[in-house]
Amino acid sequence: MRIKVVFLASALLVLGLLTSFGWTRGILKTSLLTTFAPVDRAEKSVVKRKKANPIRVRPVEVLALAPQEQRWVDSVFATLTQEQKIGQFFMVATFSNQDEAHYQYIETLVRHYHIGGLIFFQGGPHRQAMLTNRYQAAASVPLLVGIDGEWGLAMRLDSAMEYPKQMTLGAIRDEKLVYRMGQEIGRQCQRLGIHINFAPVSDINSNPSNPVIGNRSFGESKENVADKALAYMKGLQHKRIIATAKHFPGHGDANVDSHVSLPVISRSVEQLRDVDLYPFRRLIADSLMGVVTGHLHVPVVDNTPRLAATLSEKVVTELLKKELGFRGLVFTDALNMGGVGRLPSEEINLRALTAGNDILLYPENVPDAVHRIADAVKNGEITQSLIDEKVKKILRAKYWAGLNRYQPIALENLDRDLNSPEARLLKQELCEQAVTIVKNKGNLLPLGSLDTTRVAAIAIGGEFGSVFQKSLNNYAPVRTIALNEKPQSEAALEEIFGQLGDANTVVISYHRLSPSARWNYGITKPSLDLVARLKQRGLKVVVAAFGPAYALRPFVGTSADAVLCAYEDGEDMQRVVPQVLFGSIPSKGMMPVTVGDWRLGYGLFTAPNGRLAHSLPESVGMRSVQLKQIDDIVQKALKDRAFPGCQVLVARKGKVVFDKSYGTLSYNGYERVTNETLYDLASLTKVLGTLQAVMLLNERGAIDLNQKVAYYLPEFGSNSKRNMTVSDLLLHQAGFPAGLPRAVERAKVTSGLRSGFYKASRDSSHTLQVGPTLFAHTSLKDSVWNWIVNTPLTGPKADEDGKFGYLYSDLSFVSLQRIVERVTGQPIDLFLEENLFKPLGIGTMTFNPAQRRPTFRAAPTENDTWFRNALLQGTVHDQLAALQGGISGHAGLFGTAGDIVKILQMNLQKGQFGGRRFMLPGTVPLYVRNASDRSHRGLGWDKPDPSGNSSYISPQASVRSFGHTGFTGNVVWVDPDYDLVFVFLSNRVHPSAGNTIINSQKIRRQIHEAIYKSM
């Protein structure tokens, strides 16, 4: 009766598997090339239990070939001598950073001992490619080339892509991303002539103190490990790269390093069956082509004292091949490792073969091993049929990998192909999806209310000016503190407190963390106490751990308001975390392991809030290679002395995808401009400052666009200006004259500056700084305004009704500034700071940076020999703005492209940014439409020239696009149809404003055109 029950159970299991997996030969062969669709399959035990028969599963013939394909295998096999057959079992370790003696030794093994494969370790891609070509040329049978690239080629090679480690991937909820990573690593392997990647690690890290697996595992959940490993495997194999699950039958519960000694896996039969073997069963039941056996002692399977699973027939043949039905290639782990045992190397190689392994990885003393195996066949220790069976299996794998049509590796463009923009974007996406928030008291994250939230960042164990700290400043002016040496005393903490200034929110980032609990994960007691000390001072505290998930343990029960795990400390992760903290991207990650109260699978979601993310062009449908044309355009402009330096920024679909600075501050200097260099924005002040204030006040009901200006400025009521409206000012149809106003002329006489107006130093009467060492009398500002009030209107007449036609004039926006200040009762610079700049997180945009931001470096403008007799740097170039103390409605703002784009993006998003609504949805569209029948302009904004002859914007810009230019060599342009923002800043007026090359060569237009072409 018992036999019948077991038979029935076995039959039902086989029937279920056949139904579930569609196991026919044809289906299995094509499954490697199908679209990834991970599934969860429940399977029965494959481990022998006491008083129970083993349950066997139907083998998956992953190396089955069609008859015409098998002919290549048979033809090659027929040519092999016994020595050549035995040579196929050896996959020898080699390096591309050694000397010629090493290369000749490897070549000798290939030529004379006919080894079947190579595993490359340290070196570089180009050197490895050349050596691979050299070794393949020496081989009688093409070599299988492998690499231990768990997190990509960079695990072994310099100048190659490094992807996140597997525990970081375990934090990602979407397996499709892991599949894509497998595909991309597979593509790179293919490009470099590699056929086997010794990945994925399929061990379940059930022991947090595991000294050798740890971050190499996807985590502690058997389902999560299996799902991620399956995705990684499929990605590799869909690119015809043999994936290998390791380390069979499961290395996750080890407490010693198998590189040094033999770990004992003290699992029960049930634990091994239900947990450790689960991922291997899942992968084998699908289409896994390779398994690496581990140097582990597993007594419940084979209790032979100190016998590694690698050398155990019960593990390799009985469990892996017979019970689990694995039909792919079985690789030993590296046979030079301490865990394999202390037998002579030739005996280890032989025992590994007889245990059931197919390929001997990293063997030592190949010549002696070849002879020992040959002798073993002669004396009956191993059968010839077993040798032949293994060789044919290896040849089938070589056929599957494409070695039947071997071609040498093309060396041209190798580096470019291995480090493609798409590959870099994928890495960023993996980092974005992994970041995990485990605590968020009061929904502190993402950080908001930037007008009242003052942020400081303390990096423990980090570098000053790190990518992380620089990236924080993309979102707000953050006070940054870096402690390369981790604090060891209370005195060190007191020094930190003195640097916080007025910050009310502190982000503490922990770097150089350790996976070891023994050393408290690299976190010193004072650096941990810092959290509590800051909380005692009433500050909000955010902890960002740039290290393994286990390193969160010291923060369990912390008083910090928010805790975030970043898993790794590379630059990509350092770029991503600030975006999560400020809400430009969401938080989606989950814990891949349990750490205290933060259980497996736990992770708090945050939603994006409309702030700008930072990514690669490919993330928004643009091409990096096309945008690189900007480099050529700018370099030619620098050579032609169109300007000493510039900054170019491109944002699309809410992401900054290009932000680059070029050149130097001046032609004769060596100080390079950076993305932090301030530029004199000139007339960009009109749309980035004054116009924004008018829009805000218009929708609040404080300014009516149809109201006469005289209603707000009564001094206009008694002269020819009494009928002009606010919209006339915005459209430059008020009749004001163009060109340099008479006010500037009147402030200067032919023989010099007017007596009594100016002094070389500031005093109580001379408070308006108009030059580096020139201060004007305080009354001059009112005098200039009076001159403007009395300036005759000379604009062209539009019709007999007395309306004026279009004539661009700075005086219109000087008048708008006065209106803003009258209705708000405060200077325009303060109004903009409180209502726009601070809430947007703008930290550089300001008037008079030489006075207010002396630490910022400004690009010099003109060497003014006509008015101020000085080189202007941090003092406004525009003379009329200078006469008003550097603060005017038409000019005076300084800033960087990184801050300018925030204003433009808020306008593009119809008034919304950073989770805050600055303007009603209908406000911006009202101002950016074509608003006049007398010009092509909008209300305050410039619009595309219908003639298409613009020197600064592309003819591809849509009719709905809008922007403005600045006299000093700037342009901003927004295109809603393409969800595109373009910012160009330069100091083309240095050292002379007469330099017009930027216009004659249409440099800004060329750059704008390159941007459109990239889409």
User: Catalytic residue numbers?
Assistant: 259, 333
d(CA 938, CA 927): 6
d(CA 860, CA 894): 12
Residue 322: Cβ-neighbour burial (10 angstroms; 0-12, 13-18, 19+):
middle
**CA end-to-end distance (rounded Å), the chain:** 72
Neighbours of 787 (CB within 10 A): 17
d(CA 618, CA 623): 6
Strand bridging mode 846-847 / 893-895: antiparallel
CA distances (Å), 151 to each of 97, 195, 232, 573, 978, in order? 20, 16, 11, 15, 36
Q: Is 647 in contact with 673 (CB distance < 8 Å)?
A: yes
- The residues, ordered by sequence, that sit 6+ positions from 172 with a Cβ below 8 Å of its Cβ are 178, 228, 430, 433, 434, 588, 589
Residue 688: Cβ-neighbour burial (10 angstroms; 0-12, 13-18, 19+):
buried
CA dihedral angle for residue 187, residue 189, residue 191, residue 195, rounded to 10 degrees: -110
d(CA 664, CA 674): 9
d(CA 888, CA 821): 11
Strand bridging mode 916-917 / 912-913: antiparallel
- The residues, ordered by sequence, that sit 6+ positions from 594 with a Cβ below 8 Å of its Cβ are 220, 600
Provide the edge-to-edge strand list for the sheet that holds 360-361.
329-332, 290-293, 242-248, 196-197, 144-147, 117-120, 90-94, 360-361
Neighbours of 315 (CB within 10 A): 25
| Three-state secondary structure call for residue 887 | coil
Q: Which residue has the tokens 């910022």?
A: 856
CA distances (Å), 401 to each of 67, 293, 345, in order? 17, 21, 29
- The residues, ordered by sequence, that sit 6+ positions from 673 with a Cβ below 8 Å of its Cβ are 644, 645, 646, 647, 661, 662, 663, 664, 665, 859
CA distances (Å), 441 to each of 252, 433, 541, 559, 965, in order? 34, 21, 10, 10, 45
Buried b (16+ CB within 10 A) or exposed e, 88-110: bbbbbbbbbebeeeebeebbebb
Q: Is 55 in contact with 46 (CB distance < 8 Å)?
A: yes
- 447 DSSP assignment: P
Q: What is the crossing angle of helices 384-400 and 366-378, to 10°?
A: 130
Q: Is 351 in contact with 307 (CB distance < 8 Å)?
A: no
Tokens of 100: 């010629």
> Among 454, 466, 556, which residue's Cα sits nearest to residue 509?
466
Q: Is 238 in contact with 183 (CB distance < 8 Å)?
A: yes
d(CA 564, CA 508): 10
> Among 389, 217, 195, 392, which residue's Cα sits nearest to residue 294?
217
d(CA 491, CA 818): 53
Taking CA 46 as the corner, what is the angle to CA 36 and CA 593, rounded to the nearest 5 degrees?
60
The values of phi and psi at residue 325, to 5°, are 70, 30
